[in-house]
Amino acid sequence: MPPPAKKITPPHKLEFATNSLRNTTLAVEDDRYYYEVVTRFWHPTVTKVNRLDPETRELRTVAEIDRTRGKEVKVRFLDSDSKDSGLGAWTKASEFVKYDQGGVGGTFAGPKGEEYRWKTHNRKLELIKADDEEKNPLVKYHHYKRHLFVWRMSRHAWLEVKPEMSDSMEKIIGKSHS
């Protein structure tokens, strides 16, 4: 009798709590992956992405996006190489993401140097590996739905994230908000 086939790990479903991209939470059902995206009124140009540590139940800033009026958008991420594990240096958004000319989307480098590309397919935002011939989406954005198109939401927006992208979630969330 052959061994049982390897079970495929289902994708993570990160659900948006609100429709605001600057003030929301994204979380899976069991809060194993829980991110808070917040822009404080006393600092309206900086959006912070905080991650909840499921063991200690503490929020930790993993990314910041600076949208100062009249200047280019800047981003910075948690620096795993630093001794105090603080945030790294500011990077211009145009250096972090290479936007496509005349279209929606662009490419950016992952934490291990691999290239990823945001693109639209049938008016849906997807993330694929830049060198993937089959263009299998690693992350898909699913839009929210409303009752009769105007009333309360019947389904929140959510990101479908494949398990192999778990270590890159800060960059995915930071990019989708910049």
83-129 per-position pLDDT tens digit: 455 788 898 888 888 877 766 678 887 777 788 888 887 778 888 88
List the Cα angle 60/63/65 in 5-degree steps: 135
Q: What pLDDT does residue 36 have?
A: 92
Instruction: Quote the CA–CA distance of 63 and 57 in Å, as a whole number.
Output: 18
Tell me, rounded to whole angstroms, the distance of Cα 117 from its chain centroid: 13
Overall average pLDDT of the 3-32 stretch: 82
The residue among 155 and 65 whose pLDDT is bigger is: 65
Q: What pLDDT does residue 177 have?
A: 52
Overall average pLDDT of the 74-83 stretch: 73
Spatial contact of 135 and 124, defined as CB atoms under 8 Å apart? no
Spatial contact of 38 and 51, defined as CB atoms under 8 Å apart? no
- Residue 170 phi/psi, 5° resolution? -60, -40
- Three-state DSSP class for residue 130: coil
Q: What pLDDT does residue 7 have?
A: 75
Q: What pLDDT does residue 80 have?
A: 63
At 46, the pLDDT band (50, 70, 90 cuts) reads: very high
For residue 144, the 8-state DSSP code is -
Mean pLDDT of the chain: 81
The residue among 165 and 64 whose pLDDT is bigger is: 64
Q: What pLDDT does residue 147 have?
A: 73
Q: Where are the domains of the chain?
A: 12-177
Q: What pLDDT does residue 71 have?
A: 92
pTM attached to this predicted model: 0.77
Q: What pLDDT does residue 145 have?
A: 77
